Amino acid sequence: MVVLPKDDPLFVNLNAYYLDIGRLIEHLQGEIGSGGVLFKSYSAEGALFFDKDQIINAIFQNRDESLAGQTAVELLTIADDRYNFNVSVYRIGPEDVYFWASLHTAEKIYKDLSAEFTDLDGLVKKMSSERLTGYIDVAFGGGSAQGRIFLINGKMVGAASSWSNSETGDAASIREDIVEKSKTGAARFNVCRIPLMSPEVERVDPNGGGIAADGILEALEEFLTIFEQTVSAKKRNRFDFHKMLKRKFVKNADKYAFLDPFAAEFEYEDQKITFSGHASGGELSRGVIFSVMELADDLGLRRQFSSQLAQWSARHAGKLSELDIMV
């Protein structure tokens, strides 16, 4: 989906056949200074971004390929009759045009969040508080429909959806439409950041440092595996262990922030833990163990689970005592 802000249109639905795109850009640079040109046809789409001095970037997509940079610039400025483009021109302020021109460089920082566990409205507010420069990508129905909410330093600057084809855009109403749609059906979210505009702070991966070196991740993997096996032995009929565990983590995310699905710092899958947060070994262990023991109580499995944990508890008694954890 090729997007740019549509709240300030200059011209809409011009036929590229009658245009000299190069001369049009030169005229626009003198007339409005900075902006974007949107190219739309049945089989392809593209966008070209400019300021008063130069063409900044271009993006082109069709069914077979996606191009950016000089190759896309050349293809769109020629704009021959292969695609029969309709062309629309939008003003974009000089302080924002580089953001829109850099969208294709965005990197996913939170991946594949489910609407079942993540409230989109809450996610937008969280990314606003973290001053995200990038966008939240929302996929519906396995990708058959798509929405995006764009932010610069945490401030919403636009929204777009695949089902809204208007050549003018009311970002606030499109955003609300995306949020409401996410509540009524299956949706998945990715949070993407533009690194050149909002450099990512260097992070230390705890998996390569103290927590892993202390054997804490390995011990917690074993702990969770024992619990999973205990649950599976008693709850065989249509019981989704990972869904129930994630719901418990969501419930306790206020106390243990690394369990927050927004952050996607802690994952347990295939009896392996992936952890990319900054919590200490003690904080991580307390959050996971507290949540699991609480879930065991909810399921009426505390006694059986404690019995299965006997050997594990004995092996890790020293570390559990050091971290002041009771099981």
Percent share of the chain, pLDDT over 90: 30
DSSP state of 105: G
DSSP state of 229: H
Q: What pLDDT digit, counting tens, does each position of 9-62 carry?
A: 999 999 988 889 989 999 999 999 999 999 999 889 999 999 988 898 999 999
Interatomic CA distance for residues 242 and 234, integer angstroms? 15
Q: What pLDDT digit, counting tens, does each position of 282-297 carry?
A: 888 999 999 999 999 9
Interatomic CA distance for residues 261 and 284, integer angstroms? 15
**pLDDT reported for residue 236:** 58
pTM: 0.60
Q: What pLDDT digit, counting tens, does each position of 197-230 carry?
A: 433 333 333 333 444 446 788 889 999 999 988 8
Given a cut of 80, whether residue 146 has pLDDT beyond it is yes
Gap between the terminal Cα atoms of the chain: 50
Q: Which two tokens stand for residue 193?
A: 């950041």
Which residues sit opposite 275 in a β-bridge? Answer: 266
Closest CA to 58 of 118, 20, 102, 108: 102
